[in-house]
Amino acid sequence: PSELVDEKTGIRVGFSDRQSLVTGMRQAIANVIHFPEQLDRLGAAAQANAQQKFTWDAKARQVVAVYDAVVNGTPNLNDLDFQ
């Protein structure tokens, strides 16, 4: 999902229909073939992102942050930063 991938952690392919998806995937694959070194950078960033946000410890920290915000009357939970 696009919420999990950004330009630093993966390759996003936008699309509005089947043809635009095919074209976007073709371009993404061509870029990887021409610039394979980008995979090391993307992979390292994706791994660091996953360890920071998606481990059980990270999820526990996020739940505690939401709980603390609710208890303290934080008006907008969207302002929480889970990084």
pTM of the full structure:
0.66
d(CA 56, CA 83): 14
Q: Please, which residues have CB within 8 angstroms of residue 70's CB and are 6 or more apart in sequence?
A: 77
Q: Residue by residue, what is the 3-state secondary structure of 20-69?
A: HHHHHHHHHHHHHHHCCCHHHHHHHHHHHHHHHHCCHHHHHHHHHHHHHH
pLDDT at 3: 73
Residue reference for tokens 């999902």:
1
Residue 83 pLDDT greater than 70, yes or no = no
d(CA 82, CA 59): 9
Residue 78 pLDDT greater than 90, yes or no = no
pLDDT-based confidence at residue 8 (cuts at 50, 70, 90): very high
